[in-house]
Amino acid sequence: MKDYLTANKKWWNEVVPIHLRSKLYDLPSFKKGKSTLFSIESEELVDVRGKTLLHLMCHFGMDTLSWARKGAIVTGVDLSDDSISLAKKLSKEIAVPATFICSDIYELPKVLDRKFDIIFTSYGVLLWLSSIKKWAKIINHFLKEGGMFYIVELHPFTNILSNDFKIVYKYFDKGPYEDDSPGTYTDWSAPIKGVTYQWSYTISDVINVLIKENLKIQYLHEFPFTMYDQFPGFMEQNEKGQYVLKDKKIQIPLLFSLKATK
């Protein structure tokens, strides 16, 4: 494998200008005060006011700043320097205080020396982790005693499916996969080309690495809807704006959420 971090960082920097103009991220509404948090995390992660919150893999920080608007004292971390520059700019522009750090998640202990009440991460993060065991160690490292880790994420079951909803991949194959498919999840026809390196973890991997770090799993929830057009042509939006499969005979988990405490 080539230098996966350099390749992934380059790709993430290149998609920032596309994402910031996308309908999915809807930056204009966010600037006017709309939260970018979806109903799952908004309803499951309440009581953030006055708490310190570390957002791992925060992209350009709209969710981080949405938690700050709810009163959390936030720190967002991401590998992509263009994402972090934009996050800092947004924080100033909307006058919502936040700390943003550009770092590889595994190198974070070298640049951040604090512990947090809440660690949050969401939607499209596990596939970028070269080691899920090290990820859990990072979570444990930055979590205070009595603190809470929360993730809402694409369900690993969907990793076996291609964008055109065919069973193509192996659930138990961890990768890395070299991906050079064009476009990005906000626009599959966007002129983005480049190789990324991705991994795949099972739902038991996620649970077991956290247990190994002595975190106590409070719940694992699975959902039959998702937040973006993951399988174009096969999905439709319901009245709540959630993406569900058009074929109602098919019922598979599309998202999961998990809460663990220390």
Ligand X SMILES: C[S@@+](CC[C@H](N)C(=O)[O-])C[C@H]1O[C@@H](n2cnc3c(N)ncnc32)[C@H](O)[C@@H]1O
Please give the residue ranges that form the binding site for ligand X (CB under 6 A): 8, 12, 57, 59, 63, 78-80, 83, 104-105, 122-125, 128
Nearest approach in angstroms of CB 57 to ligand X is: 3
Side-chain-side CA neighbours of residue 87 (13 Å): 30
> Among residues 52 and 66, whose Cβ is nearest to ligand X?
66
For the chain, state the CA radius of gyration: 18
Which tokens belong to 72?
A: 């959390």
> Among residues 118 and 125, whose Cβ is nearest to ligand X?
125
Nearest approach in angstroms of CB 206 to ligand X is: 16
> Among residues 104 and 222, whose Cβ is nearest to ligand X?
104
Q: Please state, in angstroms and rounded to a whole number, the distance separating the CA atoms of residues 141 and 54.
A: 12
> Among residues 26 and 247, whose Cβ is nearest to ligand X?
26
Q: Please state, in angstroms and rounded to a whole number, the distance separating the CA atoms of residues 28 and 23.
A: 10
Cβ–Cβ under 8 Å, residues 200 and 177: yes
Cβ–Cβ under 8 Å, residues 125 and 102: no
Nearest approach in angstroms of CB 19 to ligand X is: 8
Q: Please state, in angstroms and rounded to a whole number, the distance separating the CA atoms of residues 163 and 261.
A: 34
Q: Please state, in angstroms and rounded to a whole number, the distance separating the CA atoms of residues 41 and 98.
A: 19
> Among residues 2 and 250, whose Cβ is nearest to ligand X?
2
- The single-letter DSSP state of residue 14 is H
DSSP for 13-50 reads: HHHHHHHHTSTTT-HHHHHTT-----HHHHHHS---TT
Q: Which helix (H) or strand (E) holds 35?
A: none
Q: Where are the beta strands (DSSP E) in 87-140?
A: 99-102, 116-122
> Among residues 15 and 210, whose Cβ is nearest to ligand X?
15
Nearest approach in angstroms of CB 144 to ligand X is: 21
> Among residues 20 and 161, whose Cβ is nearest to ligand X?
20
Nearest approach in angstroms of CB 137 to ligand X is: 14
Q: Please state, in angstroms and rounded to a whole number, the distance separating the CA atoms of residues 133 and 232.
A: 32
Nearest approach in angstroms of CB 247 to ligand X is: 26
Partners of 39 in the β-ladder: none
Nearest approach in angstroms of CB 191 to ligand X is: 19
Q: Where are the beta strands (DSSP E) in 41-192?
A: 52-56, 73-78, 99-102, 116-122, 143-154, 177-179
